[in-house]
Structure 1
Amino acid sequence: MSDQPSDASVPERSPESREAVRSAPGAVTAPESEVTSGSHRPAKTAVEKPSRAAGTPVPSQDAGPDVPKVPAYLQTQPRPDVWLRGGRQPQPGVLSRLRPPPPPAIGPATLWSAFATALLCALLLGDGVGINLLIVAVPAATGAFFAARSAGRRLRPWTAVWAAGGLALLAIPALRDAGWPVFLAVVSALALGSLALHGSRSWPGVLFGSLGLFPSVAAGARWGWRGVRARADDSRGRVRSAVRTTAVAVVLLIVFGTLFASADAAFAELLGSLTPDVSVGDSPWRLFLFALGLLGALAAAYSAAAPVRWDGITIKPGRPRSRAEWALPLIVLNLLFAAFIVLQLVVLLGGYDKVLEETGLLPAEYARQGFWQLLWATVLTLVVIALALRWAPRGGPGDLPLVRSVLGSLCVLTLVVVASALRRMDLYVDAFGLTRLRISVAAVELWLGVVLILILAAGVLGARLLPRAIAVSTAAGVLVFGLVSPDGLIAEQNVQRYRSDKTIDIDYLKDLSADAVPALDTLPEPLRSCALEGFRRDLALSDGPWYSSSWGEVRARDLLERHAVQDHGTECYSLGQEADEREGLEEGSYDPY
């Protein structure tokens, strides 16, 4: 038998009876489609029951309303998911715990900024990088600003520091032609921009916050699509009006621009230099850049409106060790560093020739072999300091002075090691010249010395600002590295060595970027023309638009136009052969980098 009552056994209820069922506490009502439409009237104290004989309503004798029994199918509770172990609900993910509530609907200013970013990416980034990266970053930062303001976020000092640093790093592609400092600057600019959006301050926050744009790509795309769809439904007429207005403006610009360009050659040249060169053949590449710019701008805006709080990730400190167990290995390490430094002082005070005589090494070999070991010693010392802080004794009255004295001594001794490594690199460069690898590792060693100084300052003033201070030092190092023009510095140092009656490696200098042209232009003939022949050919083939040309490339092109490169033929092949016979090194032992 069915549990449902038949139509004959269930009397027809009046509208007052249905209203009483709705107002009863805990009552479960039927769907709205099953309720008879009509005006709602207040429930009565006496509910009329249908008469069995004549079918006329008879007042009930009960004091309260006659609440009908709710059918069983409306009382059943939903069954738990059989695929969940033990009936437990799924736990929220890591990002859902760290991210605040969803942001408000995307505003029109943010949408237009994202669209402008995508359009500029498609038009400007297809021909190379230069000042176009800074141009593209401006509307993206504007959209993130509008999104953050709509979400109620305020501009804080550290946010301004990260944003200003990121925009300053994007000026490196506009100044330098060398690809390697430009790559470092662009990556660092993205990291600083992500930190500006998330506002991180702890070690996990600074580390993951610099990569925080990637988790927001999909969420930002969905957020933007919902905003576009909602505004398209509400303003179809305005959208059609905007499309018509834009189409008319484009047609007028094309018609009259073509007429003016045909009438004046100077205006045609100006218009051609300002207009992006877009062809049908590279349409897929332009579409990819448009999509990349749109997704990036939406991800930045979404991160600004609903940033992931990476500071919520906590790292539990290690189990504290006893004072003797913790301090004894570090004291032994400090004694080893002190012995090494004393030996270095003896060498510097007059025992240098004796050490070289006993070891059988030449000055350049002694400097080259020692630099790399000292570099790795500095890196490993930072690792040791990090692990020592994790398991350092704490809680006792004398624990903090012990930690500060032992680790502070280690940092000071390591700074002396850094100075010794830089001195060895100076000797090596003086013997064989400056190269990209040598200037890079010297810059890294110098940055490690800055990190050690920041650790010493944190031991005295507190470590609250240490993660952000190290991030600032890294970004500042990349910025300074790009501003000093490493390729130009390499060429200038090698030219000065040649003027001091030392050898010069023309084959190596020819592989540098256009930033080296001003220094190489000062060489005498035929070295000058042999060194600049490749630059003349490459610059003639890579005549890009103004927005994708760096200042170094433009300056090099002007120098070569003012002073033409002479053709020396096979004479260039015989030059620089003496560079292969390096002083004091056996054949095959020279590091070409």
Structure 2
Amino acid sequence: MESPLAKLRPPAPGRASLPTLWAILATALLSALLLGGGLGLNLLIVAVPAVLAAGFAARAAGRRLRPWTLVWAVGGLALLAVPALLDAGWPTFLAIVSALALTAFALHGGRGWPSVLLSPFGLVHSLGTGTAWTWQGLRERAEGSRGRWGPVLRTALVAVVLLVVFGALFAGADAAFADLLGSLMPDISLAQAPWRLSLFLLGLFGAIAVARTGAAPLRWDRMEFQQGRARGRMEWALPLVVLNLLFAAFNAVQLTVLFGGYDKVLKETGLTYSAYARQGFWQLLTATLLTLVVIGLALRWAPRSDARDRTLVRTVLGALCVLTLVVVASALRRMELYVDAYGLTRLRISVEAMEIWLGVVILLIMAAGVFGAKLLPRAVAVSAAAAVLGFGLISPDAIIAKSNVDRYERLGKIDLDYLDGLSADAVPALDRLPEPMRSCVLVGIDRELRSADDAWYATSWSRSRARDILADRKVEADPRTCGSQDRDVMDDDYDPYVEGDDPYGPDDPYDADDPYGTP
């Protein structure tokens, strides 16, 4: 019986070219040397030879560079600028995962949903076949050029010996030169050997998978999906019309309550602004996601045999998209009210960014309904990558810190316990706080930066900037004035308000006379 992947497999590629093998080796060596001490510019440095390996392999296999391939490749490299700029780990993780996804898109090509959704799995498939392909190419190259390997190895060995000997002499003769070498060269002590070996293997097999995929990727667009059986007009249209009416009624209430002012919220719901905002945000986010599922199912089963059916599909689904955009605006407004009452956190800014992206996806679906859905999969992928890149470049931790410092200057409320857990990205904003609050919230970051011995390639611009700021204004924290809070007032699982309380009245959980916001 034929394997399900049989029709997706391209013809076997030729042997790995010599430039491809050298690029794979360079990726492995750079991974072992540069990735052990942290993340920063080193990821971009390691990615360059890996991309070259894929390019050399694709060229040797006769594949042409297409415009969309260039778009995905440039986007993937741009995403790796995030760890070079930011210290926070969560936007860095998103950027790295997205960069891998864009690399898979670039290597596989294709324009449909299977290519966009399944291309990353093609890298896993290429890992097994690529190892044998690389070994075969290496063995054939070694047999064909056995007489030339000796001079090359001897030359490289002599160069390394000269660099080590004279570098050690110069380092011993001048302390400044020794510090320069220490900052430029990675730690290659014997104690680091197992870790370096693991990184070498990671870079080696990663570059092999990328190169093998570049030479002969799986053809995901060859996957065939049966078109859903068209339903009767009443059978599919009536439920969506009813759903549109429900959306319209909900949105009418939302527009009345959310933009009617604080007194309107109290009168209509009996809740505070913050409690009302928190009550429904997650439900509205779920409703937005489910709407995308409903649209996909409707497009599968809706009849499109004549002009009237197509017009009806566009009208009903277009109305649903417009009403969903109002739901998106309502959810964002609720989060705005919630942040105003409680402050900005990582969770809140993340889900707010996701809601905005879902709104963009709905706009793309509406555009596809007018201009055609041929480019929709690629457009959604581009929007997702752009969202991740933009989310990283705005520096979420810096925005969180700035928002909470601004809120403290306006209302006198702040949660130092939460802000103390932010990354070095937040230092410029937190530096605006008055003493002793400034030192209390920065003491942990200052201690971590002082103890870290970051190499130039394994640190971020944000950490370097934070070091400069903390060097200009020393952190002098007194444990007696930096006691921890009794409770985290920015915790998403904590609500100090009870139904009917006025958050700005006498039951305010924050004491206006206490600059730390202690209840």
Q: What's the TM-score bracket when you normalise by the shorter of the two chains?
A: over 0.9
Percent pairwise identity? 64
Matching residue of 1:108: 18
CA contact (8 A) 2:417 2:484 kept: no
Matching residue of 1:152: 62
| TM alignment of 1:167-178, pairs within 5 A | 167-178=77-88
Distance 1:129 1:396 in 2: 56
3-state SS in 1 of match to 2:369? helix
Q: Does 1:373 align with 2:286?
A: no
Query: 190, 212, 219: which is aligned to 1:302?
Result: 212
Deviation for aligned residue 1:574: 6.2
Query: 558, 581, 584: which is aligned to 2:497?
Result: 584
CA contact (8 A) 2:28 2:201 kept: yes
Distance 1:482 1:574 in 2: 30
Q: Does 1:127 align with 2:37?
A: yes
Deviation for aligned residue 1:123: 0.4
Distance 1:192 1:397 in 2: 37
| Inter-CA distance 578–246: structure 2 relative to 1 (3 Å threshold) | closer
Count of residues in Structure 1 that have an aligned counterpart in Structure 2: 499
Deviation for aligned residue 1:578: 9.4
Distance 2:186 2:438 in 1: 35
| TM alignment of 1:9-20, pairs within 5 A | none
Q: Does 1:420 align with 2:330?
A: yes
**TM-score normalised by structure 1 residue count:** 0.82
Query: 128, 140, 164: which is aligned to 2:74?
Result: 164
Q: Does 1:231 align with 2:117?
A: no
Distance 2:423 2:18 in 1: 43
Bigger mean CA offset, 298-307 vs 160-169: 298-307
Deviation for aligned residue 1:358: 4.4
Deviation for aligned residue 1:195: 0.5
1:104 maps to amino acid: G
Matching residue of 2:348: 438
Matching residue of 1:552: 462
Matching residue of 1:347: 257
Distance 1:377 1:116 in 2: 48
Bigger mean CA offset, 336-345 vs 166-175: 336-345
CA contact (8 A) 2:285 2:328 kept: yes
Deviation for aligned residue 1:359: 2.6
Structure with larger Rg = 1
| Inter-CA distance 477–471: structure 2 relative to 1 (3 Å threshold) | same
3-state SS in 2 of match to 1:570? helix
Q: Does 1:204 align with 2:114?
A: yes
Matching residue of 1:464: 374
3-state SS in 2 of match to 1:126? coil
Instruction: State the Cα deviation string for residues 198-252 of structure 1 (Å, max 9, x = none).
Output: 0021011110013321100011111110011112112222112211111111101
List runs of 5+ in structure 2 lacking aligned partners.
500-506, 511-519
CA contact (8 A) 2:248 2:323 kept: yes
CA RMSD of aligned residues (A): 1.9
Instruction: State the Cα deviation string for residues 413-468 of structure 1 (Å, max 9, x = none).
Output: 00011001101100110111000000000001000000000000000000000001
Instruction: State the Cα deviation string for residues 378-399 of structure 1 (Å, max 9, x = none).
Output: 1111111111111111213311
Distance 2:233 2:140 in 1: 65
| Inter-CA distance 107–477: structure 2 relative to 1 (3 Å threshold) | same
Distance 2:121 2:465 in 1: 36
Distance 2:9 2:284 in 1: 43
| Inter-CA distance 167–574: structure 2 relative to 1 (3 Å threshold) | closer
Matching residue of 1:518: 428
3-state SS in 1 of match to 2:116? helix
Instruction: State the Cα deviation string for residues 459-504 of structure 1 (Å, max 9, x = none).
Output: 0000000001000000000000000000010000000000002310
1:339 maps to amino acid: A
Distance 1:238 1:351 in 2: 81
Distance 2:4 2:145 in 1: 38
Distance 2:61 2:218 in 1: 14
List runs of 5+ in structure 1 lacking aligned partners.
1-89
Bigger mean CA offset, 159-168 vs 345-354: 345-354
CA contact (8 A) 1:454 1:469 kept: yes
Matching residue of 2:232: 322
Matching residue of 2:93: 183
Matching residue of 2:513: none
